[in-house]
Structure 1
């Protein structure tokens, strides 16, 4: 315990402090740039962005024009104009995902590495800190993953330059006691030193937790890496990131692509398959056209301490919650502020060795998504910050649109039904009042409508097909049938779940706009079945909407109901889908059949094997978990 200062025995186990100032940033005035030259930025970024963003805009313009022709003369009615506008606003994000995926597939073939991250990395000379913020989390869970990471460091011989800080904002005193004992136990075993600090008041939430660490200890470390409670990273990956920071003085942040692992339920395995197969293609495309102006996702990223301290101090937003107060999705804003100061922000999706766990069920995803939804909508108060780079604003706009698209899709669906109802029940007025040389024929082009919606659906699925084909080619055809079968299964189930997610996110957006704060809750990561009664309670509104929409569609035309079948079936089957996808047994059965398999299961890395062993040992020891101890306060 040499060199440790211990106050409040059991709740602080810390090194000597090395304070570093972290001033709050003025969002109304751009500061002078700390970095004026960025040699790590790839060349011809304007051309890359022209191809990707310009291509998405061109596709959107063409598709929107076709949609206006589908509606014929009715496009000039108020309903027609609104429908066409909604279609264009929704289509642009589908088109951008498509052009990004195309860029990702092409750039993956060349495997560019502008920061030299995949080359053998020399041991870093400077010290780095690994920060693990926790909030009423399962102690055995994060202790097991942290033990695995420290064993990975010990095996690589890189322990000396890294320290680990467990930064607790836990409100339950019993969980807090378990945290302190786990940290002390880890500190006394081999590997990087482990320190523990508990904040009695969690001011600023996670961002405030990190800021407090910078104020007290930031001067000791050239860079730090943020972990989530479910994060897992190879020591070699962390060493490569720290070494790259030393080689590239203009880089302020390097974000890795965390791959989902350890999924047990069908829902978790579907997400895991999508994340490991489709995720790298989409992320590589984003990295290709973002270059040194990329984004930050809040964890599994290496950050230059001085750059973060000088540029990323977050203000408290004026006004009441949910838009005022602490900035919830702080990661986007911190990256934007660092980029505003001139620092390069990079995304390294092909580095590997970076993992996390996803929520085991759709209701668990909804709990996390509620906070993300509020945080992303809150960016509407930050997107106009003085001096931000245009791509930083685009990253925020993309996050906002990701959640607003749910009520937009719902509105588009309802308006489409309203137009159909109007056409079915209200006799058209071919000769309105006034002088007219020709009748006002209501024109709807069914063949063009079929083409537009088919093309939109194919464009939506194209990134997934490209990723599946790329994986099959990379494996030289080995396991092609299982990969395609898994892809078809994922597409079918996710298509049925999409309308459920659409309504859930729409409800979240409405709640936020009505002023309801989502709070801050601990997340559940272990698989656990959901009873049908609980699923029905969650999906009552989904089922009710499905019944209403199905009745309206059948009243208008059975063919219309057939067209809307994916949406209607998803809503009508919502309770059964939620309960079915929450099953660990179904997930295990599909795994036994070779479906939804992922590379991390077929050839697990060293740290994944260590973590699995630690988790098995942790489950064998009775321990208090966050589900047994409800957070106090």
Structure 2
């Protein structure tokens, strides 16, 4: 894999000041490694109490990887919390100034590019209308053009798109140019659609803001992104942090609340160490068109899918190619006004994750590609670990279960008194409880720190302090119950990819959809069966170990009702009426209906 090298002429040596970036990365890696080795040492010491077997070695290895994985998120959160608490920019480390929008006109042109494929035209046009009107209100509309790039092939939806676009053109007045284009051949999916845009219109624009069909960005945010690009000639891409909005189902509202409270803090921590080698999430980001055109010609991988062929998740790769070409890629966690939809129920969420699993595992083939920035390689590995870690967690739990159950099944000389003792006695209960406590701190302290920031900064936007705390506790409970379910879903996805199964990138269901009981059971019966068999075997063999795994078993056995009830719009609306799971992005929905997006 290679991108065309870019010669950056007439540019300042450092367009954005990022002091001590190399030291930051070493400090971050040292914190993660130190935490991982501490956990590894503690677990090894616990296991030595009963000797050390091959099975214990397997458990130790899996524990080391999964423990280090949560340490990454933990230190991201700690760093992000410190930065947010003291109002520091994660790149410059200087104090973040208040929101300022320069009065001087923009000197560049920017295309707002929205590729779509079999989407609901009414929803798409509502978002476009709100964004275009918001841009016009900034007074900078003449510097923007909006492009709706359709890959739709269904003739019924095509007619709906064309009709809706004609109505939009008739009702929309202002300086923003509006263009609708439909491709007859869907070559290269979304990446190919954007590449065709660059070939046809790219020379007319300095920058493009890539949008998904569910993307919403305020005019002030779009103008701020353009100003960042104009001020920094080395910037190839600036990625915002999209916050989910517009969901009414209970599942959607949980996702919105979690993202609204946790994401800005985590993104600040991530931006601190990745610096000018950030990542691209495929939408709600501004890109320098010439840099993208020169660098981001995606290679076709050798072999057949799922690991070969066309690159499925192109965004990570495009960020890596931009950085390889000498351009800087930034994450802008402090820039608000960027929104997206989230799947309204667990079934649709898992479908999306299955596609992302395949794309992320495919990235592992590119980790050792020549010329890539080291942080870009890290993005590939961390993206894949987002799904592989669930598989490793499942394997560790299975290995631990086997470690406990096998002695009870032993016969003859293998059956001794120590084999019948509770495993807690053999494995030093005090040290094991201490290690469990540390693990819980790594998992839940970031949530509590993010909650503290929300309480200090904008509790009123979440319904007030008491309702914010209640919402956070509900979200934590939901996350605990959901975690083992997602563990099995991700395990199934990873195994599916490893065994050569591919998935098509079909259009998403973006509206709120309440599942029936039959749909919930159809999607989760396998998970429930695994949970029932696992819990039964553990209960009859080691009741003490069963108690330790109760949170896992509870989530698996509740998979169907969790899926069904969390898809309910009634429950989601009711909690919102009570002031629970309320988020600042709720205002986006009202703004869309009123076409008053600020």
| Contiguous gaps of at least 5 residues in structure 1 | 1-25, 433-441, 616-633
**Alignment partner of 2:25 out of 46, 49, 68:** 49
Distance 1:491 1:235 in 2: 34
Paired residue for 1:197, among 153, 161, 181? 181
Q: Which position in structure 2 is the counterpart of 1:137?
A: 119
User: Which segment drifts farther, 315-324 or 30-39?
Assistant: 30-39
Root mean square deviation of aligned Cα: 2.2
Asked whether 1:260 is paired with 2:244, we answer yes
Aligned to 2:419: none
Number of matched pairs:
576
Question: Are 1:298 and 2:282 an aligned pair?
Answer: yes
Match of 1:104 in 2: 80
Mapped contact 1:128–1:223 kept (Cα < 8 A): yes
Tell me the CA shift for residue 423 of structure 1: 3.1
How far does residue 475 in structure 1 lie from its aligned partner after superposition? 4.1
Shift of 1:446: 1.9
Residues 153 and 159 of structure 1 are in contact (CA less than 8 Å); yes or no, is this contact kept in structure 2?
yes
Q: Does 1:511 align with 2:496?
A: yes
Given that 2:528 and 2:558 are in contact with CA atoms closer than 8 Å, whether structure 1 keeps it comes out as yes
| Cα 1:168/1:74, change in 2 over 3 Å | farther
Structure 2 CA distance, aligned partners of 1:185 and 1:363?
34
Q: Is the 8 A contact 1:547 1:572 kept in 2?
A: yes
Other-structure match for 1:376: 360
Q: Which residue of 1 aligns with 2:524?
A: 539
Change in 2 beyond 3 A, CA 1:75/1:272 = farther
Q: Is 2:374 aligned against 1:393?
A: no
Q: Greater shift after overlay, 30-39 or 161-170?
A: 30-39
Aligned to 1:611: 592
Determine the structure 2 residue equivalent to 1:17. Answer: none
Alignment match, 2:316: 332
Question: CA 1:567–1:372 in 2, change beyond 3 Å: closer, same or farther?
Answer: same
Contact 1:72 1:445 (C-alpha < 8 Å) held by counterparts:
no
User: What TM-score results when the alignment is normalised by the length of structure 1?
Assistant: 0.87
Deviation at 1:170, TM superposition (A): 1.2
Q: Give the drift of 1:479.
A: 2.4
1:460 alignment counterpart: 443
Residue 125 of structure 1 corresponds to: 107
Query: Helix, strand or coil: the match of 2:585?
Result: helix
Using a 3 Å threshold, how does the CA distance of structure 1 residues 131 and 428 change in structure 2: closer, same or farther? farther
Q: Deviations over 1:472-503 (max 9, x none)?
A: 12248992221111111001111111111111
Q: Which residue of 1 aligns with 2:421?
A: none
Question: Matches of 1:184 and 1:309 in 2, distance apart?
Answer: 30
Q: Distance in 2 between matches of 1:465 and 1:525?
A: 31
* 1:3-402 aligned within 5 A: 26-27=1-2, 31=5, 34=8, 37-72=13-48, 76-108=52-84, 109-112=86-89, 118-121=99-102, 122-188=104-170, 189-191=172-174, 192-402=176-386
- Secondary structure of the corresponding residue to residue 278 of structure 1: helix
Q: Is the Cα–Cα contact under 8 Å of residues 8 and 326 in structure 2 kept in the other structure? A: yes
Q: For residues 153 and 458 of structure 1, do their structure 2 counterparts lie closer, same or farther at Cα, with a shift above 3 Å needed?
A: same
**1:469 and 1:293 mapped to 2: Cα distance?**
29
Greater helix share, 1 or 2?
2
Separation (CA, whole Å) in 1 of partners of 2:300 and 2:162? 30
The offset of 1:290, in angstroms, is 1.2
In structure 2, what is the equivalent of residue 584 of structure 1? Answer: 569
TM-score (norm 2): 0.92
